[in-house]
Amino acid sequence: MLKTRVYIDGYNLYYGVLRNSAYKWLDVYRLFAEGVLDGAKTELDNVSYYTAPILGKMYDDPESPQRQRTYLAALNKRYPHQVRIVQGKLIASRVKRRVIDGVACGELVEVLDFDEKKTDVSIAVDMLADAFSGSLEQFVLCTNDSDLAPALAKIKQLKPEVRIGLIAPVQGDVRRVSNDLKQYCDWHKTLSPFHLVQAQLPEKIPHTSIKKPAAWLLQG
């Protein structure tokens, strides 16, 4: 039994497999405890979920921020000890980008750009700190963001006895699993719709008033 901790890059997970799916009401603890990981070989310590509050100006639907808050509240209530939510922040800025197609091809236009802050650093710092604590035997990273490769490399260099697994939130052949990450991992998998459909939160969180958002009910 390998004492295991999971680190989830929330935005990478969302944009990788959840955004256009009916599985946004995802039970991230069950996903790993009962689905992705081999329960006969792992003892899941906890799941750390890294995200940032979305900004209303990012989406056409003004209810998007409230749906995210409802989802995070559901995870907190369902798993007060097993799931740890770590929030960074999003920064919006006006930048100029060159149009590459259409009538305005070649012209510079001003657009809104959104930059997520703190998430990668928080994951890297937590993984390194946990590696040196000596309390864990396996780390499982859920992302396909190659920016985290240096953290994995350092863990492998200084704590080679710690097993590292990679769960890449990619779909089919549309996106490939990052080679920059794979090279430092003992094993890797991708998420499938089967994993997601089997790991959904109850539509109403027991003993609370928290319910799956109506828009997500229509998708399911």
- For the chain, the structural domain boundaries read 2-89+117-219
Structural contact between residues 147 and 159, judged by C-beta atoms closer than 8 angstroms: no
For residues 220 and 213, what is the distance between their CA atoms, to the nearest angstrom?
11
Q: 21-71 pLDDT, tens per residue?
A: 999 999 999 999 998 997 768 999 999 999 998 876 666 677 888 999 999
For residues 123 and 49, what is the distance between their CA atoms, to the nearest angstrom?
9
Backbone φ, ψ for residue 156 (5° rounding): -65, -35
Structural contact between residues 8 and 49, judged by C-beta atoms closer than 8 angstroms: yes
Residue 12 pLDDT: 94
Tokens (6 digits) for 129: 């700190």
Residue 201 pLDDT: 98
Q: Strand, coil or helix: what is 121?
A: helix
Cα–Cα nearest to 208, from 86, 87, 71: 71
The CATH code belonging to domain 2-89+117-219 is 3.40.50.1010
Give me the residues of the chain with pLDDT under 70, please. Answer: 40, 56-60, 90-94, 103, 111-114, 172-175, 220
Tokens (6 digits) for 25: 């009401």
Phi-psi category of residue 93: left, alpha or beta, with phi > 0 → left and psi -120 to 50 → alpha: beta
